[in-house]
Structure 1
């Protein structure tokens, strides 16, 4: 689905990725990020958020918390991130982003609360009194007062299976009083997820009941004396929905796929954000009319369903005009994605080493893929800014391996003697 969008709206990224893989600058099993387009997307979201007075926290898990992506988003005006878990927040900090929000979706384990407090997050979501006490105690020990968001839920709210949790919404006033009474913390507002989702029938993003729950909680809190209530409303965020969220009283938004133009709405409508990510692979070998393509990052976000997948196979030394558009059999969701299998019965020129380009909605952080930012796509001078592992760290490469130090070689001893 997003391959067609890339071919129409950002063919320069496809061409750049093919050339950079062919030259050896982009490895296989790698998400390539068009940093020029990411910057434009982030700037568009920032401008629309400013128009409505919204705080913006970038979600970076989808692209493996890539540091060059983080710096690009920061320089475009979105200076803080939301850490989906503590590891995400730490990677975002290393990438140059402040921490605007953590604890949602994933709560902070009790022995790691001190690490979380050291990040000085602007907001910290808690699901219950025990977690609130841990956050408050860690913050007090760090000499600061932590603004807490309460995760709430009401009957009829929608949650992905495994994402449930929080206080009953009807108890929010009592919860706010308890959080305010904690040494090292104060109550700041409410949150839930997802507060809006793409509706295929409507062809657009619409609010879920969760957003109404947050609005009702804010009304109750204001009636009880809270003059300002933060409403954090994540889910399918792009510039196109910010006016609706602001009208609903939302104060904080968290774009993730909006930064790469890969929300479900982008798949069917040309929104202001353009597609900025693709997956690079390579033909490993041929067998029975199929090209076996290296995997490792073939996790297609199931939000859009498990429909058919296509890819472009670009011959070595060739360009997009020489590419074959082929159907691909993806690994079963329960299988390890060592390979995908491309039908090349109508593509007789395909050979091992050819570049393979996919366009799908990624969640790089749950894969073993690499990520790489690419600069200069729009200017026609593409270059790889850096290659990173799916957790945002630098991957181990040949420069990190001392090939002569195997057991019994004696090379290390010889070099040590030479340095003596």
Structure 2
């Protein structure tokens, strides 16, 4: 799905990535980023968010917390990140993005709270319990700060992914706010939940979830209790095209991730303002019994769509032509993706070393792939800016020194 989108809306990126690989400048098993397009996407997203009065925190996990990505987002006018975990926060901080939001989806470990409060100084820190709130407050006090705390809330009918559960009962929010305000070193600032928006495959559209209604009702209860200013953080499936849903529900914060590189589900179905800016590149290793085996390592496809026939461009030359498309089978998520298997039937057989390009919605941070940032595609002079691991740390490839 996203390969068709890439070929149609950003073919120069595909061909530039292939050419750089052919020149030995991009390794196999790499998520490649078009940093010029990321910058453009960030700029238009920020403008639309400003129009709706929404604070913007960029999510970087899907593209492996790449420093080039963070700097492109910063050039586009977004100066803060949301960190899914401490590894994200540290990578974004080192790349120049301030920590706008920490602790959601993953809580801050107890013995890392001091570093978070002292060095990262997040604008907002989400807590799921009184214990985690006390840890955050104590760390902030020791750092000489008063920390804004967001309460993660839930109620019957809300949607949470398995393993994401946690938070305060929404019905108790007034008392929760009072307890957080009573902590030395902290103050109650607002509410959050995830997902607030979700792609619905039946209608092929993005819809508000019950969680967003829960946030709005809890904010109303707080206003009735005398709290005039309540931040509402509402992440999930965020592109510029859906920000009106958040604004209409009273949200004050949004957190684009896939939206900044054009890979939300809606991007695969409609031509949204953001263009696609990420692809997965690898190469053919060997041929065996009618299949060409390409190196894996980053073949994790975020399952937002039902299973569909996967294809890749396979070529010894940069191209987006139909003739280079090949059906591909990849191992199931339960297996290690050492290789993808390219069907050679009916086509001239690929050769060892041929470039292979996929387009899919990834989650690079859960893989063992390289993350490569490329600039200059828009000017016709593409160059590799960064080759990093999934923690935003520079890789010495292709030299060990």
Displacement of 1:318: 5.3
Deviation digits for residues 285-329 of structure 1, max 9, x if unmatched? 0001100000010011112233221000012x4544595210001
Equivalent residues in 2 for 1:11-410, closer than 5 Å: 11-118=11-118, 119-315=120-316, 317=317, 319-321=319-321, 324-397=324-397, 399-401=399-401
Structure 1 pair 319–80 and aligned structure 2 pair: CA distance change class (3 A): same
Cα drift, residue 398 of structure 1:
5.1
TM-score (norm 1): 0.93
* Equivalences, count: 400
CA–CA distance in structure 1, aligned partners of residues 323 and 23 of structure 2: 16
Task: Call closer, same or farther: CA 1:197–1:322 in 2, change over 3 Å.
Answer: closer
Per-residue CA distance 1:234-283 (angstroms, 9 max, x = gap): 00001011122112100000000000100011111111111110000000
What residue ranges of structure 1 are gaps of 5+ in the alignment?
Answer: 402-420
- SS of aligned partner of 1:400: coil
For residue 9 of structure 2, what is the aligned residue in structure 1?
A: 9
**Larger CA deviation: 380-389 vs 284-293:** 380-389
1:324 and 1:347 in contact (8 A); partners too: no
Classify the secondary structure of the residue corresponding to 1:304. coil
Unaligned runs of 5+ in 2: none
Q: 1:18 to 1:216 in 2, by over 3 A?
A: same
Alpha-carbon offset, residue 115 of structure 1: 1.2
Bigger drift between 147-156 and 202-211 goes to: 202-211
Cα separation, 2, equivalents of 1:318 and 1:109: 46
**Structure with larger Rg:** 1
Measure the CA separation in 2 of the matches of 1:281 and 1:324. 15
1:333 alignment partner, SS class: coil
**How far has the Cα of 1:331 moved from its partner?**
0.9
- 1:350 CA displacement: 1.3
1:53-109 Cα deviation digits (max 9, x unpaired): 110000000000000100000111010000000111001101110000010000011
Structure 1 SS opposite 2:399: helix
Please give the alpha-carbon distance, in whole angstroms, between the structure 2 residues aligned to 1:66 and 1:293: 24
Contact 1:313 1:323 in 2 (8 A): no
Q: 1:48 to 1:318 in 2, by over 3 A?
A: closer
Structure 2 CA distance for aligned equivalents of residues 305 and 37 of structure 1:
28
Deviation at 1:202, TM superposition (A): 2.4
The alignment yields a C-alpha RMSD, in angstroms, of 1.2
Answer whether contact 1:310 1:328 (CA < 8 A) is retained: yes
Q: CA deviation at 1:397?
A: 3.2
